[in-house]
Amino acid sequence: MGYYTEMDITRFTREASSRIKDIVVEEYPLTVFVNSWELVTLLCSPVDLDFLVTGFLVSEGFIGSVQDIISMEINQKLGRADVKVMETADFVGKDRDRRTVTTSSARGSVFYNLKDADKLPVLSGGMPEVDYDTVIKLIDSFNEKCTVFRKTGGVHACAFALGEDIRVFHQDIGRHNAMDKVIGHCMQASLDFRSGLVMSSGRIASEMLLKAAKRGISVFVSRAAPTMMSVDIARKLNITLIGFAREDRFNVYHDAGRIK
Amino acid sequence: MGYYTEMDITRFTREASSRIKDIVVEEYPLTVFVNSWELVTLLCSPVDLDFLVTGFLVSEGFIGSVQDIISMEINQKLGRADVKVMETADFVGKDRDRRTVTTSSARGSVFYNLKDADKLPVLSGGMPEVDYDTVIKLIDSFNEKCTVFRKTGGVHACAFALGEDIRVFHQDIGRHNAMDKVIGHCMQASLDFRSGLVMSSGRIASEMLLKAAKRGISVFVSRAAPTMMSVDIARKLNITLIGFAREDRFNVYHDAGRIK
């Protein structure tokens, strides 16, 4: 099972109806158990599930680092991830009831309240620096990686870049999952979030920006639009927010002093 | 506060950077209290919140009908909806802990398990009948209503139609919210779900289809693609699933004997 599968459909046009083959995206349920407690079922693309689970647990505040993970067993056939984590203060003290239902593709059940944004530190200014050429080059690389897959009715992509290089790139039917895969991968690879920038194919809504901010990522580039709440968060936390990034142009919604 | 707001941004191109005005979509947090219990915070477009709350409570199984609502007070400034409902079996017996995290735009925290799909009845076949001309006419009306708003970086739309007429139409930054607004409105107006069809601008992932199926809606038309899980659900529950609906053509992923 991968991102897509093929099926027969009927196409109706004014002239006729015909049987054709179509490529349809897979949607796969992964139930995550942490220390034998059923945490959540994620609906995702069945690829890079280890990174997804790691990133999800970090983003939701169940673990602070990959060292908190004692073991992770993923049974792809059953759709189960069994994770054993250290009984740290993060996990034990977690408010498992508080829910914010996001608008962003791929997530909803976030285990923290939007008010958590108030507890996030303002990101220090100035670094990393970004300039026009770097952004354009990264968008070009990002788009090239995306074209490996069909764009129509497809998957969302997310990347982490250091300097002019995309270091980590992941895709998923949900954009939150795609970012969690990137976060999980970066943490496994011990990449420094504060030195790089994150890129996303999808709209930048508040939850996506907070997810990045919690990791100390201070530059966010998207091919799509932000929401006004994201702009407010970017201003509050001193995040550089770039949207509608195209092959030769982009919009800056909050500069935060990092764009040369 | 409406769907959009205007702000100043900087556009960077190869030649220059310039200050321009941009239209950015609003993202608004609405915290829903049911019988004084804080249920969830929805991130949505601040329009038609009464329909949103009604539809959400129905979709999530907290109420069975609008008669279960004793009172609803929405304080738009504070972002609070206080709802008093009858202490019916639905509300009391609700499993408030089980979570499925969807990929669909706008939702996540759904208070039912994906396994609930097993408990849904197979929808009776044959009705409503749909033919090529009806679908095309409805898509045309739907698109016309959507163009009132900017499509770029915009909002999702959802509609309920009876015959060739769109009876209810709503928009939201999240497609689940848009559908809940439609559901809430249809229920307030006592429209018969079984006689009509639902339309959506966004991808048809499993949660959206289940949301419609639970109301007895048996025909789903989208401008976008379904996921394979949606197709499986459509086959199981006998739902007519139409995707990539354009001005003169559409794809049928599951016919269910309703298309003439």
Given B9, B43, B152, which is nearest A103 (Cβ)? B43
- Region A31-50: what's the mean pLDDT? 93
Residue A30 with chain B: CB contacts under 8 Å: none
CB A27 within 8 A of CB B230: yes
pLDDT above 50 for B109: no
**Which chain A residue has its CA at the smallest distance from B173's CA?**
A103
pLDDT in tens, B29-77: 999 999 998 888 999 999 999 999 999 999 988 899 999 999 999 999 9
Instruction: For residue A87, give every residue at least 6 positions away whose Cβ sits within 8 Å of its Cβ, in sequence order, or none.
Output: A35
Is pLDDT above 50 for A166?
yes
Does the structure show a pLDDT above 60 at B111? no
Is the pLDDT at B102 greater than 50, yes or no?
no
Q: What mean pLDDT is predicted for residues B197-220?
A: 94
- Asked whether residue A231 carries a pLDDT value surpassing 90, the answer given is yes
Give the whole-angstrom CA distance, residue A242 versus residue B10.
Answer: 10
Beta strands in chain A (DSSP E): 4-13, 17-25, 28-34, 37-44, 69-75, 80-85, 100-101, 156-162, 165-172, 197-200, 219-222, 240-243, 249-254
> What is the overall mean pLDDT for chain A?
88
Q: Can you give the pLDDT at residue A202? A: 87
Q: Is A37 on the interface with B (CB under 8 A)?
A: no
Domain residue ranges in chain A: 28-112, 132-258
For B105, the closest of A44, A99, A103 (CB atoms) is: A103
With 90 as the cut, is the pLDDT of residue A185 above it?
A: yes
- Rounded CA separation B243/B250 (Å): 6
pLDDT of residue B200: 96
Confidence category of residue A150, pLDDT binned at 50, 70, 90: low
Residue B108: per-residue pLDDT? 44
β strands within A26-149, DSSP E: 28-34, 37-44, 69-75, 80-85, 100-101
| pLDDT tens profile B3-36 | 999 999 999 999 999 999 999 999 999 999 999 9
> pLDDT of A67-112, one tens digit each?
999 999 999 999 999 999 998 756 655 655 555 454 433 344 344 4
For A101, which of B103, B109, B153 is closest by C-beta distance?
B109
What pLDDT is recorded for position B66?
Answer: 94
Q: Taking CB atoms and an 8 Å limit, are A109 and B106 in contact across chains?
A: no
A113 pLDDT higher than 50: no
- State whether B12 and A100 contact (CB < 8 Å): no
What would you measure as the largest C-alpha separation in chain A, in angstroms?
65
Residue A148 pLDDT class (50, 70, 90 cuts)? low
State the fold for domain B28-112.
Answer: Ubiquitin-like (UB roll) (3.10.20)
ipTM: 0.89
Q: What is the pTM of this model?
A: 0.91
Looking at residue B16, its pLDDT comes to 92
Question: How confident is the model over B159-199, as pLDDT tens digits?
Answer: 999 999 999 999 999 999 999 999 999 999 999 999 999 99
Residues of A in contact with B255 (CB under 8 A): 10
B28-112 and B132-258 in the same fold: no
Per-residue pLDDT, A115: 62
CATH number for the domain whose boundaries are A132-258: 3.40.140.10
Counting every residue, how long is chain A?
260
β-pairing, B17-25 vs B69-75, is unpaired
Buried b (16+ CB within 10 A) or exposed e, A11-20: ebeeeeeeee
